[in-house]
Amino acid sequence: MFLEMSDIYCNSSFNNNVKQKQGNVHDDEAEKAHFHKIIGAFKQYRSHSLQRVSRTEQYFLSLPAHHQNLLKKFQINLHNIRECVERNSEIIKLIIKDAANMFENVPLQASQVKVTMPANMADQEKVQITLKQFVRDWSREGATERATCYQPIIREILELFPPAECSPAAVKVLVPGAGLGRLAFEIARLGYNCQGNEFSLFMLFASNFVLNKCEQTNIHTVYPWVHQYVNNLRLGHQTKGVAFPDVNPSDLPREAQFSMIAGDFLEVYTEPCSWDCVSTCFFIDCANNVVAFIETIYKILKPGGVWINLGPLYYHFADMPTENSIEPTYEELRDVISGIGFEMKKEDTNMRTTYTQNPMSMLQYEYTSVFFVCVKPACAPHGTAPAGGRR
């Protein structure tokens, strides 16, 4: 799928104009079907989530009366969970309200999409992850996570392209896998010419909402942990609300250059030697073939251009029965990186990071991520790998 989203400049506007890459009718129909599928997943969020609450409540009411009496607060909490689901549902309505206007090749409004299939569990999990992403990217509560994941990249850009020694507006920075756009936004806010790229329609719909529809700080509240029924220490942790956005997304300098492109990274970015910096955060392991990602990054960087990476090697397709995947170790990837032609300039294999982590949970997940900075040699011809490297 390739959906080209028009530029987001100082007012963070998508301009409601998305052009489709040249393709055949079959591709068009497949894209429409995928669009409708994701809209349907968002629309099914409320009913799917409330069914989960109802099943728990029915079982609770089947318990002996004295057990119910010992758990008086439990049923009250279920009522609170229902309220949080309803409020999340209102946010989702806002997210999908103008989604169809983002893409000129989608003829139906989101309101016209009829839900006919049962809720897909995998898609419902993606809806829930999208709600958590508001915390990571656009809330005060996500500041610690952003500090460990985004700030090392931002510091490196400032060090490599210091505003006192160059014109940041002339430095083109690409952020593939941009999610809800906060990292790309922060880079653009510093004056760099920054473009985010995202493939997931779940993330694209949500980023469109937060970047284009939220013009004040903390005007919405999401309940990101309401689906976590286990490892809750206290009442109220599961139903805690998080306000967003913590900054006004439209509050960019007038001269800021900030854009978002929707589509498959490998299909969208094919022009050699066109970027000064590619910054990847929790991205390269989203590939079926991570070597193709690295090869493309090398190709599109200008000679002397820089690749900054931070993240683990989760390999999202590794255990999907319908997907092919390779899962090289970092040791093997390092050989690939040098074999393609990059020069490693900085490396830290012990960066402690989290991803949409619930800080109140009794179970905490932490990655030992890799952070590195690579340079494409200034003498590299035409953006391709040198002799002996992959082509």
Contact between 362 and 380 (Cβ < 8 Å): no
Per-residue model confidence as pLDDT tens digits over 308-354: 999 999 999 999 999 999 999 999 999 999 999 999 999 999 999 99
DSSP lists the bridge partners of residue 19 as: 4
pLDDT of 90 strictly over 70: yes
pLDDT of 388 strictly over 60: no
- Please count the other Cβ atoms lying within 10 Å of the Cβ belonging to residue 255: 10
| AA identity, residue 299 | K
Per-residue model confidence as pLDDT tens digits over 241-281: 999 999 999 989 888 999 999 999 999 999 999 999 999 99
Q: How confident is the model at residue 5 (pLDDT cuts 50, 70, 90)?
A: very low
pLDDT of 390 strictly over 60: no
> Angle, to 10 degrees, between the axis of helix 290-300 and the axis of helix 330-340?
30
Confirm whether 55 is domain-assigned: no
Confirm whether 15 is domain-assigned: no
Given CA atoms 23, 27, 29, 32 in this order, what sign does their dihedral have?
A: negative
What pLDDT score was predicted for residue 79? Answer: 98
Confirm whether 388 is domain-assigned: no
pLDDT of 2 strictly over 80: no
Residue reference for tokens 């991570």: 290
Per-residue model confidence as pLDDT tens digits over 37-74: 999 999 999 999 999 999 999 999 999 999 999 999 99
Indicate the number of domains in the chain: 1
pLDDT of 142 strictly over 60: yes
What pLDDT score was predicted for residue 6? Answer: 40
Confirm whether 300 is domain-assigned: yes
Query: Rounded distance, CA 314 to CA 311, Å?
Result: 9
Q: How confident is the model at residue 4 (pLDDT cuts 50, 70, 90)?
A: very low
Q: How confident is the model at residue 98 (pLDDT cuts 50, 70, 90)?
A: confident
Confirm whether 37 is domain-assigned: no
Confirm whether 6 is domain-assigned: no
Contact between 92 and 223 (Cβ < 8 Å): no
Average pLDDT, the chain: 90
Per-residue model confidence as pLDDT tens digits over 163-211: 999 999 999 999 999 999 999 999 999 999 999 999 999 999 999 999 9
What is the residue range of 203's domain? 124-375
Q: How confident is the model at residue 382 (pLDDT cuts 50, 70, 90)?
A: low
Confirm whether 105 is domain-assigned: no
SS (H, E, C) the chain: CEEEECCCCCCCCCCCCEEECCCCHHHHHHHHHHHHHHHHHHHCHHHHHHHHHHHHHHHHHCCCHHHHHHCHHHHHHHHHHHHHHHHHHHHHHHHHHCHHHHCCCCCCCHHHCCCCCCCCHHHHHHHHHHHHHHHHHHCHHHHHHHHHHCHHHHHHHHHHCCCCCCCHHHCEEEEECCCCCHHHHHHHHCCCEEEEEECCHHHHHHHHHHHHHCCCCCCEEECCCCCCCCCECCCCCCCCCEEECCCCCCCCCCCCCEEEEEECHHHHCCCCCCEEEEEEECCHHHCCCHHHHHHHHHHHEEEEEEEEEEECCCCCCCCCCCCCCCCCCHHHHHHHHHHHCCEEEEEEEEEEECCCCCCCECCCCCEEEEEEEEECCCCCCCCCCCCCCCC
What pLDDT score was predicted for residue 1? Answer: 33
Confirm whether 22 is domain-assigned: no
> Where residue 278 sits, what CATH number does that domain have?
3.40.50.150
pLDDT of 95 strictly over 70: yes
